[in-house]
Amino acid sequence: MTTSPKGTALITGASTGLGAVYADRLARRGYDLILVARDAGRLAALAETLGNDTGRTVDILRADLTDAGDLAAVEARLADDAAITLLVNNAGMSLNGGLLDSTPAELERIIALNITAPTRLARAAGNAFVGRGAGGIINIASVLALAPEMFDGVYSGTKAYLLNLSHSLAAQVEGKGVRVQAVLPGATRTEIWERSGKDIDSFPAEWVMEAGDLVDAALLGFDRGETVTIPPLANEGQWIAFEAARHAMDGKLSNRAVAERYREAVDA
Ligand SMILES: NC(=O)c1ccc[n+]([C@@H]2O[C@H](COP(=O)([O-])OP(=O)(O)OC[C@H]3O[C@@H](n4cnc5c(N)ncnc54)[C@H](OP(=O)(O)O)[C@@H]3O)[C@@H](O)[C@H]2O)c1
């Protein structure tokens, strides 16, 4: 067993779903792995299978990313392990309800897992990667970042945050050898639906992507250097037009004068 020339990928939420598929695909691409999640039994089983199948070194790091001590341990691994070349910020959860019918503790928990953890891990990895002049950060957001009315705003808001963070971080590290990608899946067949009291089979079948297809497409987008990859969006021109409309406001969003349509309130 030799250390991979690709380096090591640290994947959060690797015990099942998209994270487990990323683990499989990245090991087959030649990465060693650090698998992070709470279920140590599932992580150990996956590590053994992937290690046997690919010959790569697969470590597990059991962590509840909503726990301050566990999160700090994952941050420390990212900061200290110079073999790490890729962070996949994938762990996430949805709510069994919405803003008005969730408890404060449930709201704190989704924000801790979907926002605080990936933010702190991106900071730790980003600083290490910039220091070495190489590395990649993949943030798993959601198409709901673009469609808040379709779902609960707390979940979609956490994903809009990750999209925003990815745009900004990509710009900050440009030219420093570090790549940042936000992946926006649509409905994808994983446990996240039943974990949050929903039935994926209640959706029309043509809306639901298989996890393997999602990850394969997202990694092709990563290979192509995309900052935002939306595997289910058939018409890429719609995304390009959306970004063009957003950037058309660049330089026009801060102004000493209020806009003409509000001037009567100021001039009165
Ligand atoms: N599936 C979809 O339709 C869909 C669509 C858009 C975006 N996404 C996003 O894709 C990402 C992956 O989701 P998925 O669909 O693969 O979900 P999933 O099947 O429910 O897997 C979630 C993963 O996160 C881990 N996890 C959950 N809570 C954790 C915690 N407190 N600390 C550490 N790890 C934790 C879980 O492992 P343990 O239980 O072992 O901790 C599991 O490995 C999420 O960010 C999700 O929001 C999914």
| 17 C-alpha to ligand 1 centroid (Å) | 7
Q: 155 an active-site residue?
A: yes
pLDDT tens sequence across 71-93: 999 999 999 999 999 999 999 99
Cβ–Cβ < 8 Å for 147, 239: no
Please identify, by atom number, the ligand 1 atom nearest to the C-alpha of residue 66: 31
Q: What is the pLDDT of residue 267?
A: 87
pLDDT of 188 > 90? The answer is yes
Indicate the pTM of the whole model: 0.97
Going by alpha carbons, the residue nearest to atom 25 of ligand 1 is 13
- Residue 221 confidence (pLDDT) above 70: yes
pLDDT in tens, 15-42: 999 999 999 999 999 999 999 999 999 9
Q: Which pLDDT score, from 0 to 100, does residue 259 have?
A: 97
- Mean pLDDT over 160-166 rounds to 98
Per-residue pLDDT averaged across 226-244, rounded?
98
For a mutational test of ligand 1's pocket, the pick from 11, 93, 184, i.e. the residue with the most ligand atoms closer than 8 A to its C-beta, is 93
| 172-186 per-position pLDDT tens digit | 999 999 999 999 999
Q: Is the CB of 60 under 6 A from ligand 1?
A: no
Q: Do 14 and 40 meet the contact criterion of CB atoms below 8 Å apart? A: no
Query: In the structure encoding, which two tokens stand for residue 102, read together?
Result: 């969730």
pLDDT score recorded for residue 4? 81
258 has pLDDT over 90: yes
> Is a pLDDT exceeding 80 seen at residue 3?
no
pLDDT at 159: 98
What pLDDT does 2 receive?
61
Mutate to test the pocket of ligand 1, among 16, 61, 155, 215 (most ligand atoms within 8 A of CB): 16
Cα atoms in the Cβ-side hemisphere of radius 13 Å centred on 60: 22
Rounded to the nearest whole angstrom, what is the distance from the C-alpha of residue 6 to the centroid of ligand 1?
25
For atom 41 of ligand 1, the residue with the nearest CA is: 38
For the chain, give the mean pLDDT: 96
- The amino acid sitting at 229 is T
Q: Ligand 1 within 6 A of 215 CB?
A: no
Residue 268 has pLDDT above 90, yes or no: no
Q: Is the CB of 17 under 6 A from ligand 1?
A: yes
| Residue 61 · residue 74 · CB < 8 Å | yes
Closest-CA residue to 6 (of 26, 35, 20, 21): 26
Q: Is the CB of 41 under 6 A from ligand 1?
A: no
> What is the predicted pLDDT for the residue at 127?
98
Alpha-carbon distance 229 to 182, whole Å? 6
- Out of 31, 155, 161, 262, which one is annotated catalytic? 155
Indicate if the pLDDT at residue 244 is higher than 90.
Answer: yes
Whether the predicted pLDDT of 1 surpasses 70: no
What digits encode the pLDDT tens for the residues 79-129?
A: 999 999 999 999 999 999 999 999 999 999 999 999 999 999 999 999 999
* Residue 147 scores a pLDDT above 70: yes
The phi, psi pair for 26, rounded to 5°, reads -70, -35
Q: Could you tell me the maximum CA-CA distance found in the chain, to the nearest angstrom?
A: 77
CB-ligand 1 contact for 35 (6 Å cutoff): no
pLDDT at residue 216 tops 90: yes
| pLDDT at residue 203 tops 70 | yes
**Ligand 1 center from residue 137 Cα (angstroms):** 17
